[in-house]
Amino acid sequence: MRLDAEMDEQLFGAVYRAFLRYQVLLFPPQDLPPARQVSLARRFGEVQIHVMNQYHADGYPELYRLSNLDEQGRPSGRHPDKGTLAWHTDGSWQRVTGQATIIYGEVMPASGGETHFCDMYGAYQRLSAAWKGRIAGLRAVHNLDFSRTRRHGEDPLTDAQRLAKPPVDHPVVRTHAESGRKCLYLGDHAESIVGMPYAEGRALIEELNALAVHPDLSYEHRWTARELILWDNRCVMHRATPYDAATQGRVIRRCTVLGQVPA
């Protein structure tokens, strides 16, 4: 399916229904100028302007580019965002969290640099009754400064970025606003549990994040350059896998559409 022309209402409706049903959609390799990516994202809703403005791309503050290439286009050896290597859901560190994320792969390495997805409806369903009872009504504090510093200590948030994005709390089990189904909602930005001693909350989050990933409920995507993937952050966690940033290039262009305050 081509994305280089504006979709009519009927076609976009079909794409949106597939997005809700399948959670992750993959489009075949094609040229997609930045403006087209932004206009596609706007069909889904309001597009996030990311607080980490050093990543803004091509004059579009809605786009966020992660690249390991230097100004001459050579691999720099520097991984642009190590935070993406841990399972997470985009924008869980803000009050209105991410709905769709839309990634276009500009340059992809020959090996590594995959993106993995896991289903959080299934993660919740597979919890035991005891686990479901234990986490019912709990809220987790999500904090970009926590996850960023832990995974990416050499490139932390600036003071202004930290002040702009204070921690927020969300239900550990959220109800998807459109499907009405329950999903587990944690990931790497979740730092602590409201009303629980810090260490106990940390241990609970680590345990649940590990329990949430089931190989048979996951999809591991090995990229071909110029593909586009979009997914539903409300019911999917994702992560990238490592690659050799000193010898291979990986450049993605990403934008995230804002959704709802989780409930």
Q: Can you give the binding site for Fe ion, defined by CB under 5 A? A: 90
Cβ 177 vs Cβ 166: under 8 Å: no
Q: How far is the CB of 96 from Fe ion (least distance, A)?
A: 16
Q: Which of residues 97 and 135 has its CB atom nearest to Fe ion in the complex? A: 97
CB of 198 to Fe ion, least distance (A): 25
Task: Classify 12 in phi/psi space as left (phi over 0), alpha (psi -120 to 50) or beta.
Answer: alpha
The letter for the amino acid at 96 is: V
Of 135 and 144, CB closest to Fe ion: 144
Query: Cβ of residue 240: shortest distance to Fe ion, in angstroms?
Result: 8
- Tell me how far, at minimum, the Cβ of 61 lies from Fe ion, in Å: 18
With respect to Fe ion, which residue has the nearer C-beta, 90 or 145? 90
Smallest distance, Å, CB 4 to Fe ion?
A: 25
Cβ-proximal residue to Fe ion, closest one:
90
- Rounded least distance, CB 230 to Fe ion, Å: 12
Tokens read off for 45:
């809703």
Q: Which is nearer to Fe ion, 62 or 90 (CB)?
A: 90
CA proximity to 147, closest of 81, 96, 101, 194: 81
Residue 91 or 135: which CB sits closer to Fe ion? 91
Q: Pick the closer one to Fe ion by CB: 48 or 135.
A: 48
Distance CA 183, CA 177 (A): 11
